Amino acid sequence: MNMFSRRSLFTLAVEVLTFCVSLGAQVERAMIAGTARDPSGAVVPNVSITVKNVNTGVEFKTTTNEAGEYVAPNLIPGEYSVTASAQGFSTLVRSGIVLHVTDRLAVDLSLQVGAVTQQVVVTAAPPLLKSETSSVVTLISRRDVADLPLNGRTVFQLAPLSAGVNNAKPGTNANNIDIPDNARERQGLSVNGQRENANTYILDGVYNNQINQGLIAILPPLEAIQEFTLETSNFNPEIGRGGGVMNVTLKSGTNQFHGSAFDYLRNSALDARNFFDRSPTRRLPNFVRNQFGGTIGGPIRKDKTFFFFDYQGLRERKGETFVTSVPGPNIRNGNFQGTDRPIFDPNTTCGFGTNPACALDANGNPIITRQPFPNMMIDPSRFNSAALKVLNFYPQTNDPSGAILAEGQALFFSSASRQHNETSWDIRIDHRISNRDSLAGHYSSGDSHTVLPGAFSALPQFAPAVGGALGSGGAGFLNGLVDNPARSLGIQEIHNFSPRMINEFRAAYVRAGSDSVQLGFGNKYADLVGIPNVNVTDNNSGFPAISIGGLGLVGESPFFPLIEIENVFQLLDNVTFIRGAHTMKFGFDGKKIQRNFTQILGFPAGVFGFGTGFTNDPENPGTTGNTFADFLLGIPDNGSIIRNSGVEGLRTTEISAYWQDTWKATQKLTVNFGIRYDLFTPQVEAHDRETNFDLGTGKLLLPPGTGGSDSCYRHRSLVCTDYNNFAPRIGLAYRLGDKSAIRASYGVFYIGESQEGFQLTLNPPFVGGVSYLNTSAPLQITRTLDQGLPTSSPFLPIDDPAATLNVWPAKRPIGYTQQWSFGVERQLSPSVLLNVTYVGNASTHIRDQHNPNQPFLGANSSAQSRRPYFPVDPNVFDLTYVDQRGRANYHALQATLTKMFSHGVSFLTDFTWGHSIDVGSYQEGSKRQDERNLDAGRGTSSNDTRNRFVFSGIYELPFGRGKPFLTNASGPVNQTAGGWELAATTIIQSGFPFTVTGGAGWPNRTCTGNNPPGGRTVDHWFDPNCFPLPALVPDPVRGGLYTPFGNAGSDILTGPGIANLDFSLFKSFNIREKSRIEFRSEFFNILNHTQFLQPSAGVPSGAAGHIFSTRDSRQIQMVLKLIF
């Protein structure tokens, strides 16, 4: 659906003019600092310094202070030269200085006595050692971005190359990053054990988060990225959240035109077979993936204005095969002869109500009986009119064997193509207004569109549906249309008041959405087949879900439509002030956040379930009756639908202020310290369509809540604002000579809200449902299918809601993380750097979810009567209580060895040895059985990875002109042997933990279960015999027996690990002086090493301990690129 209109830019303009509460800082840029000295080592003041961008010609000028120090802040990443001149000294030029995002590079200047007209040129690169920052940062260079093999081609696949980073949602791919259809969902990064919603994403210096769940909004194509850094611990106060900071910089234009064109092609012809697909003759599902695009950048006005533009398209088609049960040819006509369950006529029920008894038992009491249908056949005149129309949407069997299953069903084989398209583009403009002012801006657009088919999608009877298809059985929850649009507009202006005072102003607008609708959305199929009171709103359009035991589902999948759009308006400003040995920065950052969404939490067009209750023999119900016979008669066991009151609109504001100082205390010691303050206003609904449940009174409250047990309920948000969010930071960096440094740091980081306050909009009276049960089955028929659903209001009264409710506590402290680190860095050679760091953190008041109305254990009573709030309100069921009781901690030793590109080789390798423990693991809700015992769920985090080794590297083969071998090769020889490169990424890590479940919670644990007899295998990963269900125990209060909680615990076993190698081989062919063609082959999981996913963990079950799925097998991608 199109969620973007011409009004968007007008809305942005209004918001920018009216929302002026904030100003702030970001970290897209870099800095050069150093000290000028004479031959004796004495500092030299008043040296004229010129820092020049080699590619654009833009210059920054300053002078050294009385201590001989200079600082050149706010520099765009790229190649620079530094020129120093002073009376009595030769002019010094330092060239070959490469700046990356967030760099604070030390470039010291050694002046030689001589005339200013004499020039000394030094081309050696400055040291790799970062001796003036305490942050833990990983740089992914432009070359790595372009050349490393990446399956899916997103920047997120580069992030796990950093120490301490893994996947927050253990997924399906060997590179540990899940790849669903939506590019924005290819994420879920956990940085140093933190939750994914704690991460911060920055694009060209401005906000790039999709607020809901903390995901990314814009994913630029890799071809458009200059480079990116991932800060993983103890960054400066200008950043708030406590996870990682992914800082992406788009390429800028230069004084020369540069560009590229590319095409990445992958299909099933070269893919390896899945481990569990044992048939060598069965064809792999058809798969075609084509990713293509190009870039162009250059000058609009030389040395003044530059542009860069990129475009990328993705077209993917993936074949899916469905095998579904459909009514066989005989039972479609009412003929149940040959089926294994006799059917009985509900109209012949005797001995119930006013129906006289047809038989008596030995005591003379009536026996409820039914007469069988004659000859096991139902006369078509008895078929329900609505059921008959629905039946026409079920396809005939196409099984070539003609086999008929036990209850008259047959098989239907179908295939469909899952279609996924993406289109994205970016444009960036850089303009130098004057020597004191520069202006830059970008506009980014990304769209994805996915068609997720079902087993009956391509059938002609569903042609009126959107796209000519209806999502039907076999596709799980995902058969529908999914659109994910996103836009980002960012503007920045930098003004140099003087060489020692610089102001940065930025404004941004981010719009990200998700449109997930059923394939039949907008079509009133229920009215078409004669089922009334279903398609009453657009959100309740589509085909009702017809659930017939043993048959494929006809109708729409649940939880659609989900339509949401988020708008973030950001204004920020900061000032950098340099005085003596202090570089101070202070500023403000403000965001106004809007989230509009609607979702049906259930089957959008209703669901009707059919069992055997009305065609069975009441005396032998377990062996008689047929679900399809109940359907033909149009007698469902139940029917229901969920309805909401429209589009909910959540509104909140985030305002932050910070101050920081980088103090060069001595020539060797740099101290970074500062403080940040964050204010997160609680969410409100634009039309006050939300309610909160007051645990003190047992009543629902509308905003502003009056009569509540806490004064916080009187606010429009129904909760209080937390004003206590002060976050101090301090870091030390001490240089030990020219090749070593020691770092230590501590900081507090507030996580903020994740826009999950929508739960309160799901409470009565704004969301409700209509349902009925034929509760007296098999005796009494309440409603038939052609009568549809009751016409009563779906919305429950606020004063006595018989429902499951969502609850927020009146006082909700904002969650925060304390981080600390200590590390040593050593430059082993001009291009090799070793870093060893201990990293720790502790999170407090993080989001948790539990049910305070969980029934107490017991016997001889209903579960409802054992609920704690039963005396207050006997109609209240479960309570989803979203509070801040979660806790977590993480400790790790991280070692990183980096080689910058030289002599044809570059690599990044790191090892992480860490452990994450928490209470309330990873936004999964409760890990506990006993909701009243918080620490019962304390244990290893679900995303914990104890050991992780990562390697990535690029190697130019030493053949061809200018190389060690075949240096003077002729043209043909050089074209054949020269220009070859290799690149690889390797990930080896231990497995993720998992929880053994049994019954309604945990089983007991009588032995470790980790080492089953015969060792771990795909059929016996753990020993289920170690996990018996708890034995029944007596209820001392009520009598009888009940099942107690088990003692096994959460995430106590470890699943299979990962060992994967991705590899690429590529060659460049020079076609002109500055143009070349590059051909590459990329091999993902080149060794085709089987990497299993988690085992089945439910006991008792024959499947317990078995593994049924794997990560991807080997895949091959071909690439052709033109670079000029």
Q: What is the pLDDT of residues 274-297, one digit of tens each?
A: 888 777 777 777 899 999 999 999
* Residue linked to tokens 């950052």: 589
What pLDDT is stored for residue 468 in this prediction? Answer: 29
Q: Cβ neighbours of residue 802 under 8 Å, at least 6 residues apart? A: 796, 875, 876, 877
* 654 beta partners: 591, 680
DSSP string, 921-937: GGGS----SSTT-GGGG
pLDDT tens across 1039-1098, in order?
A: 889 999 999 988 999 999 999 999 999 998 888 888 999 999 999 999 999 999 999 998
Q: E-assigned strands of 751-815?
A: 767-773, 805-807
DSSP 971: H
* Residue linked to tokens 């004057």: 434
DSSP 222: G
pLDDT tens across 853-877, in order?
A: 999 998 888 888 999 988 888 888 8
Return d(Cα 1002, Cα 929) in angstroms, integer. Answer: 7
DSSP string, 183-217: GGGS--EEETT--GGG-EEEETTEE-EETGGGEES
Report whether 928 contacts 903 (CB < 8 A).
no
Burial class (CB in 10 A: 0-12, 13-18, 19+), 113: exposed
pLDDT tens across 661-709, in order?
A: 999 899 889 999 999 999 999 989 899 888 888 888 888 888 887 778 8
Of the candidates 538, 594, 540, 603, the one whose C-alpha atom is nearest the C-alpha of residue 569 is 594
Does the structure show a pLDDT above 70 at 383? Answer: yes
Return d(Cα 34, Cα 40) in angstroms, integer. Answer: 17
Return d(Cα 170, Cα 1056) in angstroms, integer. Answer: 11
Q: Is the dihedral of CA 338, 340, 345, 350 positive or negative?
A: positive
Q: Between 840 and 365, where is the model more confident?
A: 840
Give the H/E segment covering residue 367.
Answer: none
Does the structure show a pLDDT above 60 at 355? Answer: yes
What pLDDT is stored for residue 19 in this prediction? Answer: 34
Return d(Cα 16, Cα 264) in angstroms, integer. Answer: 40
The CB-side HSE value for 606 (13 A sphere, CA atoms) comes to: 30
CB atoms within 10 A of CB 406: 10
Distance of CA 1019 to the CA centre of its chain: 31
In this prediction, residue 464 has a pLDDT band, given cuts at 50, 70 and 90, of very low
Return d(Cα 752, Cα 721) in angstroms, integer. Answer: 12
CB atoms within 10 A of CB 652: 20
What number is the average pLDDT over the span 252-280? 88
The CB-side HSE value for 82 (13 A sphere, CA atoms) comes to: 32
In this prediction, residue 794 has a pLDDT band, given cuts at 50, 70 and 90, of low
Amino acid symbol at 136: V
What pLDDT is stored for residue 990 in this prediction? Answer: 93
* 424 beta partners: 312, 446
Return d(Cα 916, Cα 990) in angstroms, integer. Answer: 14
Report whether 1026 contacts 1020 (CB < 8 A).
no
Burial class (CB in 10 A: 0-12, 13-18, 19+), 577: middle
Main-chain phi, psi angles of 455, to 5 degrees: -65, -30
Of the candidates 377, 314, 288, the one whose C-alpha atom is nearest the C-alpha of residue 153 is 314
Main-chain phi, psi angles of 1003, to 5 degrees: -85, 180
Stretch among 57-61, 124-128, 529-533 having the lowest mean pLDDT: 124-128
Tokens in use for 374? 């004659």
Return d(Cα 1035, Cα 1037) in angstroms, integer. Answer: 6
DSSP string, 825-876: EEEEETTEEEEEEEEEEEEEEEEEEE-TTPPPP-SSS-TGGGSTTTTT-TT-
Does the structure show a pLDDT above 60 at 119? Answer: yes
Does the structure show a pLDDT above 60 at 26? Answer: no
Return d(Cα 785, Cα 789) in angstroms, integer. Answer: 8
Q: E-assigned strands of 518-631?
A: 545-548, 562-579, 582-599, 607-610
CB atoms within 10 A of CB 752: 26
Stretch among 838-842, 913-917, 968-972 having the lowest mean pLDDT: 968-972
Does the structure show a pLDDT above 50 at 4? Answer: no
Of the candidates 151, 274, 252, 136, the one whose C-alpha atom is nearest the C-alpha of residue 741 is 136
Report whether 842 contacts 888 (CB < 8 A).
yes
* Residue linked to tokens 């439910």: 1098
Return d(Cα 358, Cα 352) in angstroms, integer. Answer: 10
What pLDDT is stored for residue 947 in this prediction? Answer: 95
The CB-side HSE value for 69 (13 A sphere, CA atoms) comes to: 16
In this prediction, residue 1037 has a pLDDT band, given cuts at 50, 70 and 90, of confident
Does the structure show a pLDDT above 60 at 921? Answer: no
Does the structure show a pLDDT above 70 at 101? Answer: yes
What number is the average pLDDT over the span 324-331? 92
Of the candidates 952, 606, 636, the one whose C-alpha atom is nearest the C-alpha of residue 770 is 606
Report whether 961 contacts 1040 (CB < 8 A).
no
What pLDDT is stored for residue 382 in this prediction? Answer: 95
What number is the average pLDDT over the span 612-639? 92
Return d(Cα 686, Cα 850) in angstroms, integer. Answer: 27
Alpha-carbon Rg of the chain, whole angstroms?
33
Average pLDDT, the chain: 85
What is the residue extent of each domain of the chain? 1-133
What pLDDT is stored for residue 144 in this prediction? Answer: 86
Task: State whether CATH 3.30.1960.10 applies to domain 1-133.
Answer: no
What number is the average pLDDT over the span 66-70? 87
Return d(Cα 616, Cα 36) in angstroms, integer. Answer: 96
What pLDDT is stored for residue 105 in this prediction? Answer: 81
